[in-house]
Amino acid sequence: MNTEVLISELAFKAVRSSGPGGQHVNKTASKVEVSFNLESSEALSETEKDRLRNKISSKITSEGIIMLQCGETRSQHRNKAIVIERLVELLQKNLKVAKPRKKTKPSKGVIERRLKSKKEKALKKQSRRSPKID
């Protein structure tokens, strides 16, 4: 994944935001929406695109666009930086290939200690029982 090319391919849109700002919020477009076209991107290889389609299919529209938005702060520039950071983080997190799990066996000593402690607990509980009278 080429981050610089990816950032140049992003499309930004500023919209009016709810939240902090008082009367000022009614006049300024501080919320930032970013859209990234996954299908026509040159920053990602075909295998990376396939991996993203499989992993984050719920975040991709039918046209192959990933959309994120941020309206946390009163500053449009800060919101833009936050949303870019989120998108890059989302893509990097979902492009990682999980290592296959290696099956392991418990050692003989661990097995023996477990069985020994089980036997001790069983004997302790058995000694607490009331004796059987026939």
Q: Give me the residues paired with residue 68 across strands.
A: 34
In a domain, 24, yes or no: yes
114 in a structural domain: no
Q: How many distinct structural domains can be found in the chain?
A: 1
Q: What is the mean pLDDT of the chain?
A: 89
For 62-79, what is each residue's pLDDT tens digit? Answer: 898 999 999 888 888 999
| Residue 57 forms part of a structural domain | yes
Q: Is residue 88 very low, low, confident or very high in pLDDT (cuts 50, 70, 90)?
A: very high
Q: What is the pLDDT of residue 73?
A: 85
Q: At residue 19, does pLDDT exceed 70?
A: no
Q: Which residues, 6+ apart, have CB-to-CB distance to 72 below 8 Å?
A: 19, 79, 82
Residue 28 vs residues 31, 34, 69, 71: alpha-carbon distances, Å: 9, 17, 16, 12
Report the CATH number that the domain containing residue 56 is assigned in CATH.
3.30.160.20
* pLDDT single digits (tens) 27-53: 888 889 999 998 888 888 899 889 988
Q: Let me know if residue 22 belongs to a domain.
A: yes
Instruction: Let me know how long the chain is.
Output: 134
**pLDDT of res. 6:** 86
b/e 79-100 (16+ beta carbons within 10 angstroms → b): bbebbbeebbebbeeebeeeee
| 118 occurs within a structural domain | no
Residue 84 in domain: yes
Domain boundaries, position 43: 3-95
Within-domain flag for 104 = no
Whether residue 68 is contained in a domain is answered as yes
